[in-house]
């Protein structure tokens, strides 16, 4: 006997990070969350599962129109034809306080109430599902402590939308600890809210399936749900079901061997080719970060616009409709041999001395800040938002900028001779 545990579907939530690209896969970006959910329903039917659990955040807030609800109803209709019941819990994004539009759902969909925890019993399987939906988006009470006692001799599953302990990256909703969940005496906890896959096997099995579809670079890597087997009130295997239709990836490229922009581009291109070879047919959205102590550091720093264009061109040549660059970041440092040029006894050595002392010269720093602020005042807002160095200057963090630019400038001048 088997069930699927899914969560954080966020139907019709937009994918972000590619909208500014004229060649971005607009249709795929628009329908990705729906396509991933349709894939999940297809797998559920093919695997002939006994039931489906959705542990919160089915929706991404109130619908723009009824099409979101109509799409979900159509997928539930597919499961009804296959005689697969669905147990649905609402989380912070689709809490009662967040939703003003609703539609009647097929009778195979059972919703956990928001006023108190409730139990759905499946006598034929000897399964009891316990859960409580969010009434308010900002639910900060520990809901798990008031969940019902387990049904003796049955498989007891707790369904809960929670940050759990130690997940500081997510809003602290319905907080609880692993020890508190284990103390309830259930065999499985089907959790939602945390968008990363996590699994604990102790006195019981506790799991986050993660979200079905990554929506931005912070949700990189494979995405999907969990296929759980059980027998005689015991949990067996817990396997990941990957149903995403587009995958985000953070790619670090060590360009330490490069001594020019062209060589750095070649290394980045080769890394992208290897990534595409390993990824199969799934479309990829990649953030490329160049790292390493490189002789090309100074040249790269001065030609970031050209570097980005070169990498985009290479990605277009190898990826066709399967590879897009979300962003290119530069995190290189000067090559060790170019880092100290005092022995030269020339203008480059003088420049190194000036750069080393610059951040400690209050007159120079004040003048620099004034000049930079005048320059920033003339920049378009989208440029200011896109450049971390500009944001640093606006926040009064000019010293960090001097530390970053100084070595790059020195490296570039030293190399140029």
pLDDT computed for residue 303 by the predictor: 79
Give the helix/strand (H/E) hosting 306. Answer: helix 304-319
pLDDT digits (tens, 9 = 90+) for 254-268: 999 998 899 999 999
DSSP 61-75: SS-SSTHHHHHHHHH
- Please list the helix, strand and coil fractions of the chain in percent, rounded to the nearest 5, in that order: 35, 25, 40
Place of tokens 């000067």: 334
> Which DSSP state fits 154?
S
Between 261-279 and 304-319, two packed helices, what is the crossing angle to 10 degrees?
A: 30
pTM, entire model: 0.81
Residue 251 and residue 195 in one domain: no
pLDDT computed for residue 375 by the predictor: 83
Q: Report in angstroms the alpha-carbon separations of 203 from 142, 234, 389.
A: 20, 11, 49
Separation of alpha carbons 171 and 11, rounded Å = 20
Radius of gyration of the chain (CA): 27
Residue 235 and residue 383 in one domain: no
Domain end residue (candidates: 214, 242, 270): 242
pLDDT digits (tens, 9 = 90+) for 319-376: 667 888 888 888 888 775 444 555 555 666 676 677 777 778 888 888 888 888 888 8
Residue 253 and residue 190 in one domain: no
Looking only at the bridges linking them, the beta strands covering 284-294 and 323-334 are: parallel
Place of tokens 């498989």: 155
Residue 200 and residue 290 in one domain: no
Separation of alpha carbons 222 and 355, rounded Å = 45
pLDDT computed for residue 384 by the predictor: 65
**Residue 316, φ and ψ in degrees, nearest 5:** -65, -35
Residue 113 and residue 164 in one domain: yes
Structure tokens at 372: 């930079």
pLDDT computed for residue 344 by the predictor: 55
Separation of alpha carbons 191 and 89, rounded Å = 10
Torsion of CA 35, 228, 83, 134, to 10 degrees: -70
pLDDT computed for residue 338 by the predictor: 46
How confident is the model over 378-395, as a mean pLDDT? 70
Structural domain for 395, as ranges:
247-416
Confidence grade of residue 408 (pLDDT, cut at 50, 70, 90): low
How confident is the model over 241-253, as a mean pLDDT? 95
Looking only at the bridges linking them, the beta strands covering 198-201 and 205-208 are: antiparallel
CATH number for 166: 3.60.21.10
For the chain, what percent of residues have pLDDT higher than 90?
A: 49
pLDDT digits (tens, 9 = 90+) for 272-302: 999 988 887 888 999 999 999 888 887 887 6
Residue 327 and residue 408 in one domain: yes
Separation of alpha carbons 354 and 350, rounded Å = 6
User: How many CB atoms sit inside 10 A of residue 403's CB?
Assistant: 12
Beta-strand ranges (E) seen in 263-322 are 284-294
**Residues pairing with 207 in the sheet:** 190, 199
Separation of alpha carbons 131 and 129, rounded Å = 7
Residue 205 and residue 299 in one domain: no
pLDDT computed for residue 414 by the predictor: 64
pLDDT digits (tens, 9 = 90+) for 105-129: 999 999 999 999 999 999 999 999 9
Residue 230 and residue 311 in one domain: no
Residue 17 and residue 128 in one domain: yes
Domain end residue (candidates: 189, 212, 242): 242
Our count of domains for the chain comes to 2
Residue 211 and residue 184 in one domain: yes
> Which DSSP state fits 248?
E
Confidence grade of residue 379 (pLDDT, cut at 50, 70, 90): confident
Separation of alpha carbons 118 and 100, rounded Å = 23
Residue 230 and residue 265 in one domain: no
How confident is the model over 157-176, as a mean pLDDT? 80
Q: Give 91: exposed, middle or buried? Use CB within 10 Å, 0-12, 13-18, 19+.
A: buried
Strands ordered across the beta sheet of 109-111: 109-111, 86-89, 51-55, 2-6, 224-231, 234-242
Give the helix/strand (H/E) hosting 45. Answer: helix 26-47
Residue 251 and residue 235 in one domain: no
Domain end residue (candidates: 192, 227, 242): 242
């Amino acid at each position: 006997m088997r069930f699927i545990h899914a969560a954080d579907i966020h139907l019709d939530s937009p994918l972000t990070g590619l909208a500014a690209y004229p060649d971005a896969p607009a249709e795929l970006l628009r329908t990705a969350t729906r396509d991933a959910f349709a894939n999940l329903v297809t797998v559920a039917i093919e695997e002939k599962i006994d039931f489906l659990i959705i542990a919160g955040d089915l929706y991404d807030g109130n619908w723009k129109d009824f099409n979101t609800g109509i799409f979900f109803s159509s997928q539930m209709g597919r499961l009804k034809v296959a005689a697969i019941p669905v147990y649905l819990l609402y989380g912070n994004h689709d809490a009662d306080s967040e939703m003003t539009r609703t539609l009647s759902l097929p009778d195979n969909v059972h919703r956990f109430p928001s006023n108190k925890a409730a139990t759905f019993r499946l006598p034929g399987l000897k399964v009891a599902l316990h859960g409580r939906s969010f009434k308010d988006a900002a639910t900060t009470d520990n809901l798990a402590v008031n969940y019902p006692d387990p049904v003796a001799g049955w498989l007891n599953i707790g369904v809960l939308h929670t940050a759990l302990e130690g997940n500081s990256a997510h809003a602290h909703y319905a907080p609880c600890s692993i020890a508190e969940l284990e103390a309830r005496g259930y065999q499985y906890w089907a959790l939602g809210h945390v968008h990363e896959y996590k699994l604990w096997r102790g006195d019981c099995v506790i799991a986050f399936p993660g979200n079905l579809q990554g929506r931005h670079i912070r949700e990189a890597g494979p995405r999907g749900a969990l296929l759980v087997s059980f027998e005689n009130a015991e949990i067996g295997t817990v396997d990941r079901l990957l149903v995403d239709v587009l995958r985000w990836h953070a790619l670090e490229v060590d360009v330490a061997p490069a001594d020019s922009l062209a060589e750095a581009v070649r290394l980045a291109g080769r890394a992208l080719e290897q990534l595409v070879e390993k990824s199969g047919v799934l479309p990829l959205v990649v953030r490329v970060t160049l790292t390493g102590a490189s002789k090309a550091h100074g040249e790269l720093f001065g030609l970031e616009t050209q570097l980005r264009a070169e990498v985009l061109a290479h990605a277009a040549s190898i990826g066709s409709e399967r590879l897009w660059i979300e962003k290119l970041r530069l995190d290189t440092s000067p090559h060790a041999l170019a880092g100290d040029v005092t022995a030269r006894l020339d203008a480059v050595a003088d420049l190194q001395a000036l750069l080393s002392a610059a951040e400690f010269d209050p007159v120079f720093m004040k003048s620099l800040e004034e000049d930079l602020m005048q320059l920033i005042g003339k920049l378009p807002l989208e440029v200011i938002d896109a450049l971390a160095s500009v944001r640093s200057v606006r926040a009064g963090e000019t010293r960090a900028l001097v530390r970053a630019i100084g070595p790059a400038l020195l490296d570039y001048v030293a190399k140029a001779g």
